[in-house]
Amino acid sequence: METVLALAIGVLGGSGIYLLLRPRTFQIVMGLSLLSYAVNLFIFCMGRLRLDALPLIDPRQGGEPSLYADPVPQALVLTAIVIGFATTALFLVVLLASRGLNGTDHVDGREPEKD
């Protein structure tokens, strides 16, 4: 499971960074989204991978910490998802404004000159 997760984070993060370095705004949005998936998975796995472990205390099982998954990264990842979602939405608006004002989707607001 560790290998699968590590591969997923690596592929998502790598593609995200590749797209982030592309010159079109839509590619950047996609890159930022992929990067934030990678980051969110990374935060999640920082609570260590556990199968069938609750993050909340179950009264029947008692308060022994080793029975439970670490709840903090799960809380962090929720916050990160919400913030990432909001900023991506905001960036989409800026993308559309830039497209509308300049008539091009290049990040510099104009097409590069062709040789």
Partner 1 sequence: MSIWAHWPILPIVLPFLAGAALLLLRDTRLGCRAALAIAATCAQLLAGGVLLAMTDGWGAASWPGGAGVYELGGWAAPFGIVLVADRLAALMLTLTAALGLAALIYSLARWERAGIHYLSLFQFLLMGLNGAFLTGDLFNLFVFFEVLLAASYGLALHGSGPLRVKSAMHYIVVNLAASALFLLAAALIYGVAGTLNMAELARRVARLDPAGRGLFDIGAALLGIVFLVKAGAWPLNFWLPAAYASAAPPVAGVFAILTKVGVYALLRFSVLLQDVGAPAPFEGAWLFYCGLATLAAGSCGVLAAQKLDRLAGYLVIVSSGTLLAAFGFAGTTLTGPALYYLVASVCGSGAFFLLVELAERNRSAAADLLAISFEAFGLQDRYDAENTYEMAGVAIPAAMAFLGLSFFSCALLLTGLPPLSGFIGKFALISAAIAAQPHAPLSHVALFVAALLLSGLAGLIALSRLGIRLFWESERPVPRLQWVEAAPIGALILLCVALTFAADPAMTFFEATAQSLHDVPAYERAVLPTVEDAAGNAGRSP
* Residue 109 CB, nearest approach to partner 1 (Å): 4
Q: Minimum CB separation from partner 1 for residue 23, in Å? A: 12
Q: Name the amino acid, one letter, at 79.
A: T
19 binds partner 1 (CB under 8 A): no
**Residue 19: partners with Cβ closer than 8 Å, 6 or more residues away:** 27, 28, 30, 31, 34
Contact 19, 31 (CB under 8 A): yes
Residue 29: CA count within 13 A, CB half-sphere = 17
Size of interface with partner 1, in residues (CB under 8 A): 36
Residues 6+ away with beta carbon under 8 Å from 41: 5, 8, 9, 12
Residue 4 vs 93, nearer CB to partner 1: 93
Q: What residues from 40 to 99 belong to the interface with partner 1 (CB under 8 A)?
A: 40, 42-43, 46-48, 65-66, 72-73, 76, 79-80, 83-84, 86-88, 90-91, 94-95, 97-98
The amino acid that residue 114 corresponds to is K
Residues that bind partner 1 (CB under 8 A): 20, 25, 28, 32, 35-36, 39-40, 42-43, 46-48, 65-66, 72-73, 76, 79-80, 83-84, 86-88, 90-91, 94-95, 97-98, 101-102, 107-109
